Structures are given as structure tokens and as C-alpha cells.
């Protein structure tokens, strides 16, 4: 279903499983800013909206107009159960927030939300009072000193990084001329999900121009696979597309040099096909992604490794459905 209004933009799917059902967190831009919603499915194809889990604040909070959330600590073993895990008695979600109105306007920073309730039930999560990573931190790096976007948090059970939790996030830097700064994927680490610090002095994925962003991790055998999107690269014909990189240690990544996994090919993704969430279930790979048509309508689409006989935008994406 192609959206009938580009005022409402649906974006950034995150998939997890709970109580033998599938759930998707996603974000909705409505003209003011981003809020985070939850949907439910029995079969990964047909989805029903459950409600909001992060919403606007009627206050002067640092994140009053932007709360774009991404569920954390999901089982990332390829083909496993994709359960969402708690830690310290809570479920966790990272998000980017800001107080400016509009589409990704102003300074955006990373916040952390949590709940002790069922993550499969639609309810508003609690939030830490202050951001955990900001572009104007005293230890901000050259690559993230302008603004920060999507983050993804996994548990590093082997402590390959020396820490319990690892966050990948994309940010724009080059503050000398931020309007021309590229977006790159970088790392932060934590032992408690509350206190975070940047890892190393260089990004882990850097194409120097355009955007590299929205990392999502899967572990296939002994290899960690980072699905991410690229956009506006000089050597690509497609404007936005999905790719991947591989690592043995979560720190050093080798980029795939072959064809894009997903790129514009349908009417509903004719402008952008990007922002992956890729899982394997019952021997079928489900590649959820953000689809933007040439009119700017934005929804969530699905590609699969086997033909399921259904080629259309599958997620509820019309204005009246997105906000009910």
C-alpha cells in the first residue's frame, strides 16, 4: 500500500519475537517530528498497529519533538528466535531525540528508554532524563560533532570489545562545514546501558561522501554481519540502497563489494530502497526496508529469499492508518 500523503512518513523497522508472535517497532513522522510505534503480526507479512511506545512531550524536555526509537538487546543469531532480552530487570530501547520541530531538524542526540512491562504491549516507555551521547559532548569525535541519527544496541556476551553492550550509530561530523559533512557509522560501548562512551577515534564504516547508516547486526556462523544502507555515493547509480559488511570482532569490518542487496526496483521504492532489518525464519530470509516512491511517500516494504507470491508495499502506511 503506497501512502496517500507524504506528510506522514513511516520508517525504520525493528523486528523481534515475543510469546510466539512477531512485533515491529517503527517510527512515524507527522510534520512535527518523530514518534515511535509498535505493530504485531502472526506471519511477518500482515501487520496490525498496537499503539505508541514513545510520544511527544508537552514540556521543555531535550527530546520534546523527536523520539525515534529502536528496540535493543534482540537475539541476533541468524535463524534463531529473535527474542527480545531484558537486562537488570528492564527492557531497553535507544532513540534519537531533539527539541526542534520538523524533519530531522536541529541537534539530535541519543537517548535511552526502558520499561519493566511487557515490550509486546503498547505503552509509553520511561526515559533517562538526559541524552547519553551528544554532538557537543566534551569527548565528541570529528565524525559525530554535528548531529546523530539511528542507533542499534546489542549485547556482546563474549566481551570482544571489553564491554557488555555495543551501540552502532550513524552521525554527521565535520563541524567546520556541517552542511557538507558525510554520515558514517560509529561505535559506543557500555556496561550498564546507561553510561556510554565512544569507542576509538574513527568510525567503523566510512565512505567519506553521502550517507552510511542504520546498522543492524546479525551473526551468521562465526561472522558478524552488519546490514546498513548507503545513499548518495558518487560511484552508485541508485540514490539509496542496502548493503552489508562483515567482522569477526565487532570492531574491524570488511565491506561487501558486490551488487546491492536492495535498490530501487518498484514503483513504491522508485526513489529510495534502504534502512534494513533482515532476519531468517523457517529457511526464508525476510528483508524489511524503507521504501520511498518518487513523490516522497514513505512506507515499509519487504523482500524475501523465496517467492511468496505477493509484490506490494505490505505495511500499513496510509495517513489515517498510521495515526489511528
Nearest-angstrom CA–CA distance, 111 and 95: 5
Question: What's the N-to-C CA distance of the chain in angstroms?
Answer: 16
Domain containing 260 equals 9-322
Show Cβ contacts of residue 129 under 8 Å, excluding neighbours closer than 6 positions: none
Q: What pLDDT is attached to residue 165? A: 98
Collapsing DSSP states into helix, strand and coil, what is residue 299? strand
User: pLDDT tens, 124-155?
Assistant: 999 999 999 999 999 999 999 999 999 999 99
Does residue 292 belong to any structural domain of this protein? yes
162: left (phi over 0), alpha (psi -120 to 50) or beta: left
Does residue 17 belong to any structural domain of this protein? yes
Q: What pLDDT is attached to residue 10? A: 92
Does residue 2 belong to any structural domain of this protein? no
Does residue 4 belong to any structural domain of this protein? no
Show Cβ contacts of residue 243 under 8 Å, excluding neighbours closer than 6 positions: 227, 228, 229, 230, 255, 256, 260, 261
The total of structural domains in the chain comes to 1
Does residue 46 belong to any structural domain of this protein? yes
Nearest-angstrom CA–CA distance, 84 and 91: 8
Q: What pLDDT is attached to residue 164? A: 98
Q: What pLDDT is attached to residue 6? A: 61
In sequence order, what DSSP letters do the residues of 56-125 get, joined into one string? --SS--TTTTEEEEEE--B--BTTS--BB--BTTBEEEEEEEES--STT-S--EEEEEEESS-TTS--PP
User: pLDDT tens, 297-312?
Assistant: 899 999 999 998 755 5
Q: What pLDDT is attached to residue 59? A: 86
Q: What pLDDT is attached to residue 11? A: 92
Phi and psi at residue 70, to the nearest 5°: -140, 115
Does residue 97 belong to any structural domain of this protein? yes
CATH code of 56's domain: 2.115.10.20
Q: Is 89 exposed, middle or buried (0-12, 13-18, 19+ CB in 10 A)?
A: exposed
Low-confidence ranges of the chain (pLDDT < 70): 1-7, 175-180, 310-324
Does residue 3 belong to any structural domain of this protein? no
Does residue 318 belong to any structural domain of this protein? yes
Amino acid at each position: 500500500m503506497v501512502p496517500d500523503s507524504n506528510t506522514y512518513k513511516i520508517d525504520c523497522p525493528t523486528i523481534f519475537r515475543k510469546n510466539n508472535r512477531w512485533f515491529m517497532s517503527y517510527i512515524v513522522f507527522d510534520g512535527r517530528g518523530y514518534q515511535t510505534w509498535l505493530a504485531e503480526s502472526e506471519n511477518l507479512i500482515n501487520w496490525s498497529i498496537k499503539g505508541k511506545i514513545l510520544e511527544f512531550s508537552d514540556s521543555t524536555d531535550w527530546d520534546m519533538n523527536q523520539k525515534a526509537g529502536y528496540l535493543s538487546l534482540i537475539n541476533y543469531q541468524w535463524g534463531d528466535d529473535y527474542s527480545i532480552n531484558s537486562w537488570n530487570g528492564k527492557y531497553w530501547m535507544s532513540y534519537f531525540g531533539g527539541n526542534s520541530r520538523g524533519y530531522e531538524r536541529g541537534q539530535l542526540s541519543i537517548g535511552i528508554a526502558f520499561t519493566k512491562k511487557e515490550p509486546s504491549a503498547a505503552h509509553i516507555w520511561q526515559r533517562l532524563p538526559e541524552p547519553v551521547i551528544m554532538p557537543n559532548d566534551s569527548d565528541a569525535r570529528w565524525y559525530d560533532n554535528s548531529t546523530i541519527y539511528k542507533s542499534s544496541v546489542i549485547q556482546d556476551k563474549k566481551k570482544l570489545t571489553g564491554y557488555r553492550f555495543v551501540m552502532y550509530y550513524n552521525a554527521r561530523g565535520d563541524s567546520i562545514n556541517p552542511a557538507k559533512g558525510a554520515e558514517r557509522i560509529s561505535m559506543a560501548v557500555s556496561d550498564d546501558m546507561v553510561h556510554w562512551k565512544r569507542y576509538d577515534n574513527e568510525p567503523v564504516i566510512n565512505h567519506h561522501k553521502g550517507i552510511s547508516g542504520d546498522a543492524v547486526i546479525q551473526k551468521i556462523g562465526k561472522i558478524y554481519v552488519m546490514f546498513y544502507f548507503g545513499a548518495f555515493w558518487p560511484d552508485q547509480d541508485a540514490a539509496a540502497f542496502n548493503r552489508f559488511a562483515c567482522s569477526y570482532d565487532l570492531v574491524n569490518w570488511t565491506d561487501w563489494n558486490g551488487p546491492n542487496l536492495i535498490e530501487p526496483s518498484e514503483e513504491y521504492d522508485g526513489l529510495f530502497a534502504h534502512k534494513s532489518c533482515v532476519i531468517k525464519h523457517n529457511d526464508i530470509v525476510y528483508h524489511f526496508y524503507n521504501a520511498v516512491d518518487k513523490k516522497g511517500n514513505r512506507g515499509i516494504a519487504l523482500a524475501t529469499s523465496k517467492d511468496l507470491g505477493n509484490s506490494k508495499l505490505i505495511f500499513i502506511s496510509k495517513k489515517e492508518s498510521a495515526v489511528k
